Chain A
Amino acid sequence: MEELLKSNLDKIFSYSLFITGNRDRALDLMQDTIVTVLNKKHLYKEESHFRSWIFRVLKNNYLNQLKKEGVKKELFLGDLANDGDSSSVFINESNGKIEELNDPILRERINSVIASIPMDYREVVIFIEMDGMSYEEAAKELGIPVGTVMSRLHRGRSYLRKMLRKEAGELRIITEKVRKNA
């Protein structure tokens, strides 16, 4: 287990970051989770899926943290409006690379947007978009049907697109401000 944790530190951090939406909180959550995992390693069965197991522990620890802090609601499956009009591209692109992402302030905003995707959708988005899993792999990891993976991914993405578009103007202003002040 120790070796498994050590070799997956980057992945755990990415999960943690996309769950909390904030680097400091992600590091805190990661630390708590590593301690939890080491204390409960007897519960881990080798045949079970490490990534989804670790994600579940991260998620539970995060929800416990929220509870302690008195945050009442973390979005789960719900009625999400469809993305409606898609008239603008939210971030400038050049040569296929999004240069703006070098700006830590912008990244923080985007992280918090990702972290606002309802949790059940978020884990599918993370597994597929971030881990590059196929639908089938994600379905196995999460123990849900492929059709559910597809619908959750679709909803998660739609939510993300909508939220990013909503933030678009403001994000660009912030980036420009940072550049001017630099």
Chain B
Amino acid sequence: MHDTRCNLNEIFIEQFADGELDLKESSEISAHLENCPECRKKYDEIKLVKRVITGIKEREVLSVIEKEGFISLIDRAVKPSFATRIGTVMKSHGFSVGFSFFSFASFIFLFSYYIYTSDKENSLVVNEIISAHRHSLPDEFNGTENTEAELQKNFKVDKKLMKKLAKISPVVRGRYTSIAANPVAKINLEGIGKNKGTLFMSKKNHHLKELFDDKDCVVKTHDEECKARHFQEKENDLVYWENQDNDYIFITESSGMMAEMVQLISSDY
């Protein structure tokens, strides 16, 4: 009867599987594995674990949008603060004769900069969202340059609401990370495209869809991954959209609808 117990240290099998042995040792272990079913089984399992990890690594990758989001996050994080910039300028000028004049000028500059950035920040975020989703936004958003211009003009980011949502819903938080921008925002869609309000949903969210069945909705199909619905409430518009990369965007002027969506999403997850 074949004795299945083997005294070979398992670490040698691992070293063999990892290619850590020299030629002579490798051929010894290889020959042993041919004749020892017990060690062969261990070796097969080690190789299988390797393939599982490699398989996971190959499949679990950042989406293009997520990657763009992180790059944008890095770029924004390294942008020097306004105070740093002022400090640098002051240093280069010193506190010399023109100090008083400089103080006055910097006050004017500070004020102008504040006005500029408060507006600029918003349009940066809008640009970011639009560019991140450029290739996958539904037709209404993606049709013409006009649409983009309109979006940029009308987009208002509600940061408080976004933070609140991010706290409530891990999904929103995840998406927030994924585009490193603002998946939750307020927008006035009036005048954009033919349909005023559109509720876009993926197949995955049928249960959410059903909740809007009694509403004045128009079913829209964009592609295999994305289904859309139209919804309006008191002339205000709601958009909830999930694309194939599982990014979420809430766009609404209606706080009531937003609350409803928050509840739906957070209860779902």
Contacts and interface: CB of A to CB of B under 8 A. Distances in A.
A27 B74 contact: no
B20 interface: yes
Contacts of A24: 170-171, 173-174, 177
Nearest to A38: B77
Nearest to B269: A24
24 contacts: A2-B74, A6-B71, A9-B67, A9-B70, A13-B61, A14-B57, A24-B173, A24-B174, A27-B178, A28-B173, A30-B70, A34-B73, A34-B77, A35-B77, A86-B41, A97-B55, A98-B51, A111-B56, A111-B60, A114-B53, A128-B18, A129-B50, A153-B14, A154-B14
A157 interface: yes
A91 B53 CA distance: 13
B268 interface: no
A38 B60 contact: no
Interface string B239-263: 0000000000000000000000000
B117 to A, nearest CB: 20
B56 A107 contact: yes
Interface string B41-57: 11011101111111111
A27 B174 contact: yes
B61 A93 contact: no
Interface string A156-175: 01101100100000000000
A50 interface: no
Contacts of A51: none
Contact of B10 (A2, A96, A130, A154): A154
Interface residues on B, range: 35 or more
Contacts, number: 114
Interface of B: 10-11, 14-15, 18, 20, 41-42, 44-46, 48-57, 59-62, 66-67, 70-71, 73-75, 77-78, 170-171, 173-174, 177-178, 180
A10 interface: yes
Contacts of A101: 52, 55-56, 59
A15 to B, nearest CB: 11
A107 B46 contact: no
B34 to A, nearest CB: 18
Contacts of B77: 34-35, 38
Contacts of B74: 2, 5-6, 34, 38
Interface in A112-129: 114, 125, 128-129
Interface string A41-63: 00000000000000000000000
A96 B51 contact: yes
A31 B177 contact: yes
Given A9-B70, A9-B71, A28 B177 contact: yes
A80 interface: no
Nearest to A113: B52
Interface centre among A27, A35, A151 (most CB of B within 10 A): A27
